[in-house]
Copies of this chain bind each other. A is one copy, B any other.
């Protein structure tokens, strides 16, 4: 079997699917790429058993081929080669021979006996989104996905299909993001939960092209040009997130996100690393941020201009969570909606776009003093 391919084109394909392979795994076969040529279509597959990534490119091959190639080594090799046409050829002793103008290289492969098979699913539902829209939804919500394995449902991103739009929801119990995209609407309500790892890899794969999304109640398939991602869904019921979003928060703070963000960043330095607490004292024209680390005898206090209509408010937040929320609202004029210092605060951008709605929620912490 022989075929030619440009080194950079092959590197690009491999780079996209390599991240799915875990650094350490007891299952040796998934440390390989499944390398297949079928009627001149080269398809490379990688998996961690739950998530499959597949990429294809047309080549002019003399015959079909299937083999397992050590993924990390093969990627390092292709990456190390100059930008040049590579000629591939199978040789005796289960080796792939690669040739360039100045070099000849061999890489061992093995027969495919036990590489995991992509689940064969009859996808019944389908829609598509522009890459830009999907990327924005994922970028804005991924940070709020939970990390505690015992709360399995919260370790994924909820796709809530409703007749108001597609709602992306992430929460870890301390913070919550709800991003509504109104360009797609669904007459039949349904919810699927996509694991965090799939989302984090997907974000890097998305470009401006449309993404086709096929799903059932157990699996989801994202098609991005020549790349396919197939993931199992988290088979759990997502918490009833609507009931935790307060509707009546009537104390309204308008403020620029950026100066508040840089002040919160400084509070992170001064705050005690165990408690990570910052106090927001809100009055008519000024927010005062303060924090203290009794262990190190350090403290910080800063003021940021604002407009506030409501009862005077002293409310505490986890500095890191507050920083993360603000960091996703950079360059925006934002609104905090408070109820009381012990109840959830809502944070929204004021210049909302027509087809979307972004809401963040942050639980306060009890102030020490």
Ordered nearest first, which 5 A-B pairs have the shortest CB separation? A108-B297, A103-B302, A80-B266, A105-B300, A106-B299
User: A164 CB to closest chain B CB, in angstroms?
Assistant: 41
Q: Name 21 A/B residue pairs within 8 A (Cβ), A-sorted.
A: A73-B298, A77-B269, A80-B265, A80-B266, A80-B269, A82-B262, A93-B297, A102-B263, A103-B300, A103-B301, A103-B302, A103-B303, A104-B301, A104-B302, A105-B270, A105-B298, A105-B301, A106-B298, A107-B296, A108-B297, A108-B298
Q: Interface of A with B (CB < 8 Å)? A: 70, 73, 76-77, 80-82, 93-95, 102-108, 262-263, 265-266, 269-270, 296-304
From B107, B265, B296, give the contact of A73 (CB < 8 A): B296
User: A94 CB to closest chain B CB, in angstroms?
Assistant: 7
Provided the pairs A77-B270, A269-B80 are in contact, do residues A297 and B94 lie with their beta carbons within 8 angstroms?
Answer: yes
User: A91 CB to closest chain B CB, in angstroms?
Assistant: 11
Residues of B with C-beta under 8 A to A103: 263, 266, 300-303
Residues of B with C-beta under 8 A to A102: 263, 302-304
Residues of B with C-beta under 8 A to A108: 296-298
Interface centre among A93, A106, A262 (most CB of B within 10 A): A106
Interface centre among A70, A80, A262 (most CB of B within 10 A): A80
Residue of B nearest to A94 (CB): B297
Compute how far the CA of A301 lies from the CA of B103 in the bound complex, rounded to whole angstroms: 5
Interface centre among A262, A298, A301 (most CB of B within 10 A): A298
Residues of B with C-beta under 8 A to A301: 103-105
User: A80 CB to closest chain B CB, in angstroms?
Assistant: 4
Residue of B nearest to A99 (CB): B301
A107→B297 contact, CB < 8 A: yes
B76→A269 contact, CB < 8 A: yes
Compute how far the CA of A262 lies from the CA of B79 in the bound complex, rounded to whole angstroms: 12
A266→B95 contact, CB < 8 A: no
Interface centre among A95, A107, A297, A304 (most CB of B within 10 A): A297
Residues of B with C-beta under 8 A to A266: 77, 80-81, 103
Compute how far the CA of A298 lies from the CA of B73 in the bound complex, rounded to whole angstroms: 9
Compute how far the CA of A108 lies from the CA of B82 in the bound complex, rounded to whole angstroms: 56
Residue of B nearest to A294 (CB): B108
A70→B296 contact, CB < 8 A: yes
Residues of B with C-beta under 8 A to A81: 266
Compute how far the CA of A302 lies from the CA of B84 in the bound complex, rounded to whole angstroms: 14
Residues of B with C-beta under 8 A to A82: 262
